[in-house]
Structures are given as C-alpha cells and as structure tokens.
Structure 1
Amino acid sequence: MSFEEEAKGLARLVKAGGVTIFSGAGLSTESGLQDFRSRDGIWAHADPTRLASIEALEDNYDEFLEFYKARLYVPEEIQPNIGHEIVAKWEKEGYVEGVITQNVDRLHQKAGSVNVWELHGSLEPVRCHRCGREGTTADFLAGKPCSYCGGRLRPSVVLFGEMLPQRPLEAADELSDRCKTFIVLGSSLVVSPANYFPRQAKSRGANLVIVNRDPTPLDGIADLVVQEGIGAFLSETEKYM
C-alpha cells in the first residue's frame, strides 16, 4: 500500500469518529525531545531504575535532581509539532474522543487537546514528596526544599517503584473499550500495562492503527501499520479529511 493510500485509509477511519489516540515518545521526538528506548535514547545512557526512582529521590537526591534538570525538563523552545496540532484539531472537530499518552511533556495540552490522560504523570506541576503541596519549577531546578515543610520537591512523573495513577488508567480503559478506531502514535508498545490498551481496543472490535518508525510487538494484529514520520503522515491524512 502506498503512502497516499495509507493516508486515505486513515482519513476514512478518522471521519467515522470514535477515535482514541495513544501517544508515546516518538511523537515528542518530532518536537526535538529525546526519546527513551531507541539506540540513542535517554535510557541508553542512564539507568532509569537507579536515577528515575523512589530510591534516588529519597537517598540520592542530588543525582536525581541533576538527571531531571539535564534530561527531562522541556526547554521553552520545544513546542507542539504538526502531529500534536492535528490530533488537537481532530478532537475539536469531534473525531477524537480522547488522548491516552505515555508522555510527560504536556505538548498535547499546549497544542489544544483537552481530554488528555497521562499514564505516567507529567513534569509539572512540581510537588513536595513529603507533604504533597505544589511547589515551583524554579525552586525545583534550583534544588530548593518545599517552602511549607522542607521536604524534597519532585516532578509529578511516575517514578520506578510507584503505581500508575488510578484515574488515568480508568479513563484509558473506558476510551479503549468504546472506541471505533485506536491510533498509536510513536510508541514502541513494550511497556506494560500501557500496551494492554491497544490489545483491548482490538479485542472489542476497534480498528487498530500503528504509526511508528520501528516495528512493534502488536504490528501483527493491527489493521494498518505505517512506518513513517508521524507529522508527515498525519499531514498527508489531513488532505483527505
């Protein structure tokens, strides 16, 4: 199937409505952010179980802080790309019912998406690990303690050793259960339990579309697999909407 035919096929599915979007790091790399699991990704040069963990936060805070300052905080020049913008447009037009994301950068929200469910939390707001009160990003980056209790500030990401947040999991379950088409954008689909949702959608009779530069474990059950850039492919799809 040609690039054009693939785009026309996706446009037909999107125009039928009932779309759930599932996004991973591959979408954010097109905004200039580094991904996690590729050969040159963040985890290729750092051990996440040591640096992005509860143990690091509690026992090795200086290293924890430096890791998040150097690797994960999103510079102001990083902005939503055309892929984020098209997803937001489709939601506004009523085709997309919600976005499930593994990303912590909030680029979906910056692009205008509203119904976004963050499985792994987000970099902001910063909060105190001890009392839970909200702090400021500036204080966190400066290594300052919580102004209320003196506890350690941290981003609101899910660290290794923590459970995924319950409400986003429930929302993801609902969106996967009722959608007509489930579109994966830039996820390797190797992280559990997140990779359960495309399987769930497919088992409920939804069309499964995977747009990712590299093969994924779920390509064999997908109705459409596109190994192209997300922004380029969604832009081509927009021509037929």
Structure 2
Amino acid sequence: MHLNNSQHAAIIEAAEIWKEAERPVVLTGAGISVPSGIPDFRSPGGLWEKHDPAEVATILALRTRPARVWEFLFDALDMFEKASPNPAHVALAELEQAGMVDAVITQNIDGLHQAAGSRNVIEFHGNGSRLYCMRCKRRLDPAKAAAMTMDDKPWECECGGIVRPDIVFFGEQIPKEAMARSFAMTQQADLVVVVGTSGEVAPANTIPGQVKNRGGKMIEVNLGPSSFGSLADVAIRASCEMVLPAIAKHLM
C-alpha cells in the first residue's frame, strides 16, 4: 500500500500542527495493533467471532463460569504473546523520547506500546500480561500461561482462587489511577492525536472533545470513518503503520 498525494499533504499538515504543540498526548485503540497481528476483537477474524463477549468478557462470567472465560483468555494471551510492535508503536516511542509525546493513553491490553519503548503509557483497560489471584491478590508469573493447556482451565492459584488478568471486564470500572492520570494529561494537553480507534467506547472517547473544548487541536489517524465527526483538524484515512513514521520523519 502506498500513500497518495492527498494523504501526503495531510501528513505534512499534521506534522506542522504537531510541531506547534507543547503538550501533545496520543489516544490509541485496537487499530494500532492490527498490523502487529492482533485483529480488532469486533472485526471479522476477531475474537468475538469465536467467543460471545457476554459469555466470556464480563465480571459475572469470570465469577460464575471461569473455565469458559479462560478458553477465551488462552486465545487472547496467545495472540498477544506472538505479537510484536509495528512501526506505528515504534514511531510513538521515538517521538516520546524526542519530547514530542507527553503520554500515550491506550485502550489496548497487549502491552505493545511498552514493548516498543514508550514509557508514559496510561492503560485505560489494563494489561493482559499482569495476572493475579482473585482471592489472595497474589501476582502470578505470566510466563506460566504460555505453558498451560486447555486441560488446565480455569487457572487456579495455590490458595484455590481463580487467576485473572489485570484487565477491565465488562461490568467493571476503569481503574481509578488510569482515570486520574488520563484526566490530568487531558487537562494540560494542547494536542490529541487519535490513532486506530473509532471512538465507540466510553469514557476514552471523551478525551478528544475535552482537548478541543480547551482550545487544543486534534489529529486523527484511522483507516475508516469514526464517531469523532468534524472534531479533527486533520483526519488521515490510511494505515497508522505508514502514517505515524511519516509524520515522525517530518518532526525529527
């Protein structure tokens, strides 16, 4: 895939806006990890084709049907384990190191931003590689999950409690620390760069509007249309793994 002339022009415009920003933040969603081999759960080929989220992704299911939930978790954790950061993740990490990204606020649970080198990452929905017991709260080694088989489900702690990933299931609240940190970053941001999210999931989808309401700018990088409407000062409809490195090249 190659960028066309209008996309190149939008990239240059986005870079000019980014250069003027003093406190830029980035909001990412599933789309940034698709080039890494992790399909959007909702898209064709995603995990919701094989698993009903109502059966495997709610806090009630985790408490009442943990074996069924762990069937889904085995698939998800295996997918995350095999994935590597793509050029979009790397570009954001390099921009952070250059002082051009204050923070990455992500809805993803795959840890690829950190793997690429980003340091100030706010995980709205947790991280699938952090595991703990629901009963005794002890942290467990995520490497053990890779060695488990379907016969081991659900994963039980030595105390007999069910092990779970430190992610937000449907029916649970966004972690207070993530909410507080993202709110603090949003309040001082003068630019929000939206990457790979259509803006369908609250409360993360309110961040761009908060920045715009305070007089900030918005750059959107999405393959398809989103619910952000006309909020974006520049909207680039192209793959983030091509767009973000191109913007970074203009900035550094």
So what's the TM-score if we normalise by structure 2? 0.90
Give 1:146's match in structure 2, choosing from 157, 167, 176: 157
Q: Residue in 1 aligned with 2:30?
A: 25
Which secondary structure does the structure 2 equivalent of 1:30 belong to?
helix
Q: Residue in 2 aligned with 1:86?
A: 91
Aligned to 1:26, what secondary structure does the other structure show?
Answer: helix
SS at match of 1:4: helix
Aligned-partner residue type, residue 116 of structure 2: A
- How has the CA–CA distance of structure 1 residues 150 and 137 changed in structure 2, closer, same or farther, with 3 Å as cutoff? same
**Structure 2: distance between partners of 1:233 and 1:82:** 9
Question: 1:72: how far off?
Answer: 4.1
Which residue identity lines up with residue 19 of structure 2 in the other structure? Answer: K
Q: Distance in 2 between matches of 1:75 and 1:120?
A: 15
- Equivalent residue of 1:103, what SS? coil
Unaligned runs of 5+ in 1: none
| More displaced 10-residue stretch of structure 1: 8-17 or 88-97 | 8-17
| 1:21–1:184 CA contact under 8 A, matched in 2 | yes
Q: Identity across aligned pairs (percent)?
A: 35
How far does the alpha carbon of each residue in 1:92-113 deviate from its partner, in whole angstroms, 9 at most, with x for none?
Answer: 0101000100000010001110
Aligned length: 240
Summarize deviations over 1:43-96 as a string: whole Å, max 9, x none: 344321221111221111111111110134445441101000010111101010
Question: 1-side partners of 2:30 and 2:186: how far apart?
Answer: 20
2:204 is the alignment partner of 1:194: yes
* Alpha carbons of structure 1 residues 196 and 131: separation in structure 2 relative to 1, 3 Å: same
1:140 offset after TM fit, Å? 4.5
How many angstroms does 1:138 deviate by?
4.4
Say whether 1:58 aligns with 2:63.
Answer: yes
Give the distance between the partners of 1:200 and 1:43, measured in 2 at CA.
Answer: 31
Contact 1:20 1:181 in 2 (8 A): yes
Q: Secondary structure at the match of 1:155?
A: strand
Specify the alignment match of 1:229 in structure 2: 239
Of 196, 213, 217, the match for 1:207: 217
